[in-house]
Amino acid sequence: MVYENVDISPQENLNDSRVGLFLKRYKKAESIKDHWKEKFEEAYEYTMPQRESFYEETVGQRRTDKIFDETAVVGIQEFASRLQAGMTPTFARWADFEAGTEIPDEQKPDINEQLDAITSYVFEVLQASNFNTEVHECFMDLAVGTGCLLVEEGDAISPLKFNAVPLPRLTLNSGPDNRIDQIFRTRYIDYEDLQVTYPKAILPLDLLQRTQNSRSKCQVVEGIMRMYDEPNTEKWKYCVVLPKHKIMIEERQLKGNASNPYIVFRWNKASGEVYGRGPVFNAMAAIKTTNLTVELILQNAQMAISGVYTFEDDGVVNPDNIQLVPGSLIPVSPGSRGLVPIQGAGNFDVAQLILQDMRQNIKKALYMETLGRPEGTPMSATEVAERMADLSRQIGSSFGRLQSEFVNPLLRRVIRILTKQGRIELPRIDGKEVKVVPRSPLAQAQHQQDVADVTRFNEIIGMTFGPQMLNMIVKQDEVAKYLAEKMNLPEKLIRDAAEQQQLANQLQNLSQQGNIGQDGMGQPPTEQGI
């Protein structure tokens, strides 16, 4: 394949000022990424060698020369799978749409019922799309620090289309509020596929002719930049530029909530930095040491198996003619010792101890121990819940960041697309908010501590002062609602206020009838009375 060399030096006299401004911003963002490329490349080489390089197009290229131990490679796969199972489990409803706090309480039951049906449909569409496969790729990039998911409109068969943007092809920059407001994606596309990839693109005549005759690849830079000319309005400018030709083939504005199709999320972030820092960074020293140790062990093992020999240079023994195979005859001079093996200097026991410690550090950094399978019988549901709660405590800060940078923007984007397609319609609630409530296993694990605290308080007060004092102190009906919410009990299983009042009246009437009967009034006749 033929690839073009791109020079986007800002000193060049560009004919189009918009293209010049775009490339200037792109080059500035690339200069920030240059400080990270070496770190990112090293992390990918040791943990995800199958992914493409940060420096060149490497489709199908072998990049496993530095891998001698598979602990980190397997650990990244398990990290992504475990995080996916904890945040966006397959074939599960891991979030709910509910009426916000601004909605009056008397309206919430009806609105929540409508939102419940919308939530069910949204997750049916998600599960029928390629979401689960693409989000796994994003979580693998997240292990290094930064993931990106492109959410676009699909077709009549699949309304949603997802695409994991690899970190080597992603360039970011932040804005005045330290939020990511410039996202660039670099692609290499065949000239003949430009019109298919970008149907709305306007290509010059000479470029159209080239697309029909050229089999080479063209560098394409997609960019989306936040615009601040309208306060309190989410507005983005989307551009597609061919840097080699200094032309912009597509330009449009995206306006409204969740109009940005790129969902960029980070594991952790240092102050003033754009890119995230993932658990791989914490494990890099152990990963490199482990690979080096295994490499030395293999070299020592090769020496131990094949051997290293000395011989007397007596003019008879010729090492070029010696073949160390069974049954071989090696001529030596009288009195010569022949070939003498050298004892290996390496200590396999010490190497194994170092290797064991380093592998343990890698597993700890990638949270492989938290949900590790115990020897023997499989884990019970209680043990799984406890281990998930432990994992939730370990990644609490990162989980909160993922909730705000990934889950909420993702669902808002999905709602926008499905609403635009006319597949769903949000209930009219006078412009008040609709909140996203996480229901993932990790979110539920965090709620378990709240449930445990309330339950323990009830037990202590009830055992110490009795049930009457407990009812005087605690609103038990509100406690029941609180526990139902924390334990993700379906809304349809909870009686509404009217049903609760009706049931309370019935119980009160039965209680009064019982008191009357005890006084001898209104007591039904017995068999003897008849």
Whole-number pLDDT of residue 109: 81
CA dihedral 499→501→503→504, nearest 10 degrees, is: 160
For range 220-249, the mean pLDDT:
92
For range 454-461, the mean pLDDT:
85
What confidence category does residue 481 fall into, taking pLDDT thresholds of 50, 70 and 90? confident
pLDDT(5) > 50: no
Q: Which of 199, 157, 149 is CA-nearest to residue 414?
A: 149
pLDDT(407) > 90: yes
What confidence category does residue 408 fall into, taking pLDDT thresholds of 50, 70 and 90? very high
Whole-number pLDDT of residue 7: 40
Dist. CA 47–CA 18, nearest whole Å:
40
Residue 511 phi/psi, 5° resolution? Answer: -65, -45
CA dihedral 403→407→412→418, nearest 10 degrees, is: -170
Whole-number pLDDT of residue 482: 78
Whole-number pLDDT of residue 345: 59
Contacts of 151 (CB under 8 A, 6+ apart): 160, 161, 162, 261, 262, 263, 410, 413, 414, 417
Task: State pLDDT tens for residues 123-164.
Answer: 999 999 999 999 999 999 999 999 999 999 988 888 999 999
Q: Where are the domains of the chain?
A: 17-61+93-273, 440-495
Whole-number pLDDT of residue 2: 37
Does this model's pTM top 0.85? no
Whole-number pLDDT of residue 509: 82
For range 110-122, the mean pLDDT:
90
Q: Which of 272, 374, 325 is CA-nearest to residue 35?
A: 272
For range 160-175, the mean pLDDT:
95
Whole-number pLDDT of residue 65: 77
pLDDT(28) > 90: yes
Whole-number pLDDT of residue 52: 82
pLDDT(261) > 50: yes
Residue 162 phi/psi, 5° resolution? Answer: -115, 145
For range 268-286, the mean pLDDT:
92
For tokens 């281990």, what's the residue? 387
Q: Are strands 146-153 and 95-99 parallel, antiparallel or unpaired?
A: unpaired
Q: Mind spelling out the 3-state secondary structure of 129-186? A: CCHHHHHHHHHHHHHHCEEEEEEEECCCCCCEEEEECCHHHEEEEECCCCCEEEEEEE
Higher pLDDT, 61 or 244: 244
Q: What percent of the chain has pLDDT over 90?
A: 38
For range 446-464, the mean pLDDT:
81
pLDDT(42) > 50: yes
Cα–Cα–Cα angle for 94, 100, 103, nearest 5°?
145
Whole-number pLDDT of residue 416: 94
Whole-number pLDDT of residue 527: 41
Cα–Cα–Cα angle for 85, 385, 133, nearest 5°?
5
Q: Which of 172, 173, 174, 203 is CA-nearest to residue 186?
A: 172
CA dihedral 467→469→475→477, nearest 10 degrees, is: 20
User: Any alpha helices (H) in 307-369, and if so which ranges?
Assistant: 348-365
pLDDT(377) > 60: no
Tell me if 88 sits within 8 A of 122, measured CB to CB.
no
Dist. CA 417–CA 252, nearest whole Å:
17
Q: Which of 180, 179, 175, 197 is CA-nearest to residue 188?
A: 197
Task: State pLDDT tens for residues 96-109.
Answer: 898 887 888 788 88
Dist. CA 512–CA 506, nearest whole Å:
10
Q: What b/e string do you get for 214-234 counting C-beta neighbours within 10 Å, with b at 16 or more?
A: eeebbbbbbbbbbeeeeeeee
Gyration radius of the chain over CA positions: 33
Dist. CA 460–CA 89, nearest whole Å:
36
pLDDT(66) > 60: yes
